[in-house]
Amino acid sequence: MNTLRLGVNIDHIATLRQARYPGMLDSPNCEPDLVAAAAICERAGAVGITTHLRADRRHIQDADVYRLRESLQTKLNLEMGNTPEIVEIALRVKPADVCLVPENRREVTTEGGLDAAGQLDALTPTVARLNDAGIHVSLFVEPDPKQIDAAVQLKAHSVELHTGAFANTQGEAHLAELKRIREAAVYAHGLGLQVNAGHGINYVNIAEIREVAHLSELNIGHTIVSRAVFVGLETAVRELIAAMKG
């Protein structure tokens, strides 16, 4: 069985804050506090905190990224699109990890993996700059050998396999997606990449994901925040870590 590590995505906590306090981060009433939430996740056993600084700043704000970078006891994993403004912020903040993701303003959350194979020319200078800054670079991709080959060509350190199709299907289609993830994990590991996964993983389907060989880290947010409504954030994180261990 894999020794899986958990990175907690706190974007949805920021979404709750922005629903009441957009543009009011300096207000004494501004809540919930992301730094406090991150500290709770760390205390519960998370090995890192994930945030997605989107171009439209719909949840995470620039100031959040700087505050988290300064306060975390573990590490910051910054998800980001390949846009010049966000790249420059990442190079100033220098998070431990950057995960390059596709970004569509019309989507509610990231849907689908990055087409690294189709964007080699655009991604090459970005990955090189992040590597030169000492940042661990991951690509959020579909469980597809073509995309994994592109990650190697780009000199990324990791791939994060998109598990959304697996999470959102049932029956034979679900089993087929699980098979794709298993095969992609073996393939990526064989090429020397760290293999992570994320999107749609929850307290139920974790039973299948935890059996996938070579997985290192899972980045999970929505199901944890949803569970926290009922049991609290620390308990929600601890419960998921227990489920990851089986």
pLDDT tens for the chain, 246 residues: list them.
Answer: 568 999 999 999 999 999 999 888 888 999 999 999 999 999 999 999 999 999 999 999 999 999 999 999 999 999 999 999 999 999 999 999 999 999 865 555 556 899 999 999 999 999 999 999 999 999 999 999 999 999 999 999 999 999 999 999 999 999 999 999 999 999 999 999 999 999 999 999 999 999 999 999 999 999 999 999 999 999 999 999 999 998
pLDDT, position 2: 61
pLDDT, position 127: 98
C-alpha span between 50 and 69 (Å, rounded): 11
pLDDT, position 148: 98
Q: How far is CA 109 from CA 83, 103, 209, in A?
A: 17, 9, 21
Catalytic residue among 79, 103, 142, 160: 79
Note if 79 is an active site residue: yes
What are the tokens at 74?
């573990």
Give this prediction's pTM.
Answer: 0.94
Domain boundaries, the chain: 5-245
Q: Do residues 155 and 135 lie in contact, with contact meaning Cβ atoms separated by under 8 Å? A: no
Q: Do residues 54 and 81 lie in contact, with contact meaning Cβ atoms separated by under 8 Å? A: yes
pLDDT, position 8: 98
Task: Classify residue 213 as exposed, middle or buried by CB count within 10 Å of its CB (0-12, 13-18, 19+).
Answer: exposed
C-alpha span between 74 and 46 (Å, rounded): 8
Nearest residue to 209 via CA among 167, 242, 239, 173: 167
pLDDT, position 59: 96
Catalytic residue among 142, 199, 208, 217: 199
- Domain 5-245 indexed as CATH 3.20.20.70: yes
pLDDT, position 56: 93
Catalytic residue among 52, 59, 157, 162: 52
Tell me if residue 79 falls in helix, strand or coil. Answer: strand
pLDDT, position 24: 87
What is the 3 state secondary structure string of 88-133?
Answer: HHHHHHCCCEEEECCCCCCCCCCCCCCCCHHHHHHHHHHHHHHHHC
Nearest residue to 75 via CA among 38, 94, 48: 48
